[in-house]
């Protein structure tokens, strides 16, 4: 249920493209079905008018695309950013991954995005059309004539349930109203897991991570993972682009993936959104964020450009690694 309409965004994009402010538009484009939305670089007005889309399925965070697209284009790129996307945008600027001058960022308000797999779990396969209707989504299926109404709130993406901010932290132009940073309960689930015994935690993660097929989607979608050469692409590593052979490889991949973005992860939740196996990957990232907040003080990656990530910083009074556990165990 988005507050701002597709027509408004389209109008804006067309006008900026036609008056030459930008030479391309990075936006969401129609896929085969109304729920599979694909990122696209629009270069012509016709293309925009025909394919540009803005609906409840536009979860894609465009920040990372700027890294590869800005070098390749003359002139500016127009990009649409939802509030959580702007954090990744700032984080990438902090790391000097793209040229700010070459981007025209428009902030769009977001009411939360829909998780297609959650929707399908409720309606079954064969969705042919989805219409918005007040608080519900009206789903038409190819096999049946009657429509199914699904409450929008029930099929939100995991990351949107605990949305951390409706505030845009970076933009050239904002459409709609300025939002607020929300006091969300995003660490509740992590805390719940922490309260389990090690055996239970191991069983939980064994169950989740053993579904991993190592498609690398989480890495590829992650706006913090922008290394040109990735450890997991190293043919000498023995773990290059292949399904995990055993429980060690499953865990190793996920520990290292989360570790490499620790302190830089803005908690945008792209990893969990793109996971075809629905592994709650964001919990690993949130664990790091929660720890860092507790050990070294509150830190939100991407809240401002130029802030120093906690793991590349130190104070002489930091906690000892052993004390981490003592603290927790005495708390419990």
Estimate to the nearest angstrom the gap between the alpha carbon of 259 and the chain centroid: 17
Between 74 and 329, name the residue whose CB sits nearer to other proteins: 329
Binding segment for other proteins (CB under 8 A), chosen from 61-69, 103-111, 153-161, 282-290, is: 282-290
Binding segment for other proteins (CB under 8 A), chosen from 46-54, 96-104, 211-219, 249-257, is: 249-257
Least separation in angstroms between CB 305 and other proteins: 22
Assess 26 for contact with other proteins (CB under 8 A).
Answer: no
Contact positions with other proteins (CB under 8 A) in 217-236: 231
Angle between the 282-296 and 247-260 helix axes, to the nearest 10 degrees? 50
DSSP conformation letters of 211-272 = T-----HHHHH-TT---SS-GGG-GGGS-TTS---SHHHHHHHHHHHHHHTTTT-----HHH
Assess 213 for contact with other proteins (CB under 8 A).
Answer: no
Assess 84 for contact with other proteins (CB under 8 A).
Answer: no
Q: Which residue has the tokens 């935690």?
A: 201
The sheet carrying 136-141 orders its strands as 127-133, 136-141, 148-151
Backbone phi and psi for residue 208, each to the nearest 5 degrees, phi listed first:
-70, -50
| Residue from the set 66, 205, 212, 272 that interacts with other proteins by CB under 8 A | 205
Assess 108 for contact with other proteins (CB under 8 A).
Answer: no
Sequence-ordered list of residues with C-beta below 8 angstroms from that of 119, at least 6 positions apart, any chain: 35, 127, 130, 137, 139, 150, 155
Between 107 and 263, name the residue whose CB sits nearer to other proteins: 263
Binding segment for other proteins (CB under 8 A), chosen from 22-30, 71-79, 115-123, 203-211, is: 203-211
Least separation in angstroms between CB 324 and other proteins: 5
Rounded Cα distance between 56 and 59, Å, is 8
Do the beta carbons of residue 74 and residue 37 sit within 8 Å?
no
Rounded Cα distance between 104 and 75, Å, is 10
Assess 297 for contact with other proteins (CB under 8 A).
Answer: no
Assess 267 for contact with other proteins (CB under 8 A).
Answer: no
Q: One symbol per residue from 163 to 202: x for binding other proteins (CB under 8 A), - otherwise; what is it?
A: ---------------------------x--xx---xxxxx
Sequence-ordered list of residues with C-beta below 8 angstroms from that of 40, at least 6 positions apart, any chain: 26, 27, 28, 29, 51
Assess 296 for contact with other proteins (CB under 8 A).
Answer: yes
Number of residues that bind other proteins (CB under 8 A): 47
Between 36 and 313, name the residue whose CB sits nearer to other proteins: 313
Angle between the 198-209 and 247-260 helix axes, to the nearest 10 degrees? 90
**Contacts to other proteins by CB under 8 A:** 190, 193-194, 198-206, 231, 245-249, 251-252, 255-256, 258-259, 262-263, 284, 287-288, 291-292, 295-296, 310-316, 318-322, 324-325
């Amino acid at each position: 249920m988005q507050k701002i309409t597709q027509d408004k965004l389209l109008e804006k994009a067309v006008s900026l493209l036609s008056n030459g402010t930008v030479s391309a538009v990075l936006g969401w484009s129609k896929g085969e079905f109304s729920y599979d939305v694909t990122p696209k670089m629009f270069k012509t007005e016709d293309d925009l008018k025909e394919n540009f889309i803005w609906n409840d399925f536009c979860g894609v965070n465009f920040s990372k695309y700027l890294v590869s697209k800005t070098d390749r284009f003359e002139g500016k790129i127009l990009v649409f950013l939802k509030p959580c996307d702007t954090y990744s945008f700032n984080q990438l600027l902090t790391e000097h991954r793209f040229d700010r001058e070459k981007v025209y960022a428009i902030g769009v308000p977001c009411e939360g995005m829909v998780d297609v797999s959650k929707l399908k779990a409720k309606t079954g396969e064969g969705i042919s059309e989805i219409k918005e209707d007040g608080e519900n989504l009206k789903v038409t299926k190819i096999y049946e004539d009657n429509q199914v109404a699904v409450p929008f709130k029930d099929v939100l993406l995991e990351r949107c349930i605990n949305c951390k901010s409706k505030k845009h932290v970076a933009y050239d132009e904002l459409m709609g109203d300025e939002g607020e940073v929300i006091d969300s309960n995003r660490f509740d689930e992590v805390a719940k897991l922490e309260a389990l015994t090690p055996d239970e935690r191991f069983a939980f993660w064994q169950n989740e991570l053993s579904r991993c097929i190592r498609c690398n989607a989480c890495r590829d979608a992650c706006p913090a993972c922008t290394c040109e050469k990735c450890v997991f692409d190293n043919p000498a590593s023995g773990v290059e682009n292949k399904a995990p052979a055993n429980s060690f490889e499953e865990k190793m991949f996920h520990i290292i993936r989360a570790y490499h973005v620790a302190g830089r992860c803005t908690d945008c939740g792209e990893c969990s959104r793109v996971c075809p196996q629905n592994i709650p990957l964001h919990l690993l990232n949130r664990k790091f964020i929660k720890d860092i907040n507790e050990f070294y003080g509150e830190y939100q990656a991407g809240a401002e450009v130029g802030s120093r990530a906690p793991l590349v910083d130190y104070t002489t009074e930091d906690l000892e690694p052993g004390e981490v556990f003592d603290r927790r165990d005495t708390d419990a």
